[in-house]
Amino acid sequence: MHTLDPHCQALLGSFDELLPTLQEMEGTLLREIKAVLAEAGLLVASLESRVKGRDSLAGKLELKGSKYKGIADITDLVGLRVITFYSDDVDKVASAIERLYDIDWENSVDKRKLLEIDSFGYLSLHYICKDKRFPVRFEIQMRTLLQHAWANMNHDTGYKSGVDIPKRYKRAMSRIAGMLELVDDEFSRIRMELTDYRRRVQALVKSGNLDEVSLDRDSFKSYLELRPFDGLNKRIAAVNQAEIQEVSLLPYLNIFAFLGCKTLGDIARLVKGYSEGAYQLACYQIGLTDLDIIASSLGPQDLCITYILKSGGGKAGIRRMFDLLNGASESNELMAGLLVEQSKDLAFMNQ
């Protein structure tokens, strides 16, 4: 139970009257911030909001109620918190917020800039915002997931409790804050390097230096943009005047890796060296049918089958390929056997 003087009781009364407006305001702000983050392409760990609880406000007024002339002087009646994954995203979120609302710079705090160079602790960016649609200002806090974790732990270990905690615990928390700051910086650095790597890979793929590009998910995606199997698919489709349905070819990344491809150059050589065999196999299979639809995965599928057969992988190799693509099944064994039978008299097997 809080003991409040008449001034503070009046402030609390104003809060009660304003409560429905504050709740509506919270919903509006949440929607607007969600939208602006999505528009900016910012993926955040979480977006939280709250209207200050009556009891919490009473506690605040009991401690420093005389500081506030009216209810509008209290800036955290509605509060939102944006938790980012990366430290450099905090500034991007801040910039998005600045586009949305007027910032009361005099009362906003960048805790990141307040710490001395040899101390570590609470790092968070607090904006006090105003918007003429709303009767009171509101607070938006922005920080990383790790800063958020530290702040919560620090809160639990005594912050704001009014009871001072032993120095050794404060030092331990400070040590953790320093470590988390380092980890946050590392996460950002890794993301930046990965982005650089992806750009380099795209440039190498575009310039045709495929032997210099290791096979991984990113490089394979870039390679697929060159549509390396289009020629083969179109040749196969022409046999029955079939339409080609575009499907994802990413599952073939594992298959090319299984076949020993280490670089995109290895795949390019496979396409060059085995397309004729793949075409012969497809002609044999669909040439006598009236099937007039194929998936764009047919080209790489038949290419890999041809490679396996020509390099002596036989039935076991084809089965392994189907197992990797579709999950293990006895019917993969039957299909592999059929393919070995079908291909043994084809020209490519005897060249």
Partner 1 sequence: MEVIINNEAHGCEAKLIGRLDTAASQEVSDALQPLMDKAGGTLVLDCHEMTYIASSGLRIFLNLRKAAALKGGKVIVRGINSDIRNVFMMTGFLNLFQIED
Residues that bind partner 1 (CB under 8 A): 242, 245, 247, 251, 282, 285-286, 289-299, 301, 322, 325-327, 329-331, 334-335, 338
Return the number of the residue (138 or 307) whose C-beta is nearest partner 1. Answer: 307
Q: Is 90 exposed, middle or buried (0-12, 13-18, 19+ CB in 10 A)?
A: buried
Nearer CB in complex with partner 1: 35/293: 293
C-alpha to C-alpha distances, 235 to 7, 232, 242, 275, 279, nearest whole angstrom? 85, 5, 10, 10, 7
The bridge status of strand 102-103 relative to strand 125-130 is antiparallel
Whether residue 271 contacts residue 232, with contact meaning beta carbons closer than 8 Å, is answered with yes
* Closest CB to partner 1 among residues 22, 339: 339
Nearest approach, Cβ of residue 250 and partner 1 (Å) = 11
- Nearer Cβ to partner 1 (147/285): 285
Q: In the bound complex, what is the minimum distance in angstroms from residue 315's beta carbon to partner 1? A: 14
DSSP assigned state of 214:
B
Shortest spacing between CB 253 and partner 1, in angstroms: 12
Decide whether 66 or 331 has the Cβ nearer to partner 1: 331
What is the token pair recorded at 334? 């039957």
Least distance in Å: CB of 346 to partner 1? 14
Q: How far is the CB of 309 from partner 1 (least distance, A)?
A: 15
77: closest CA among 136, 2, 16? 136
* Torsion angle of C-alpha atoms 325, 328, 334, 336, degrees rounded to 10: 40
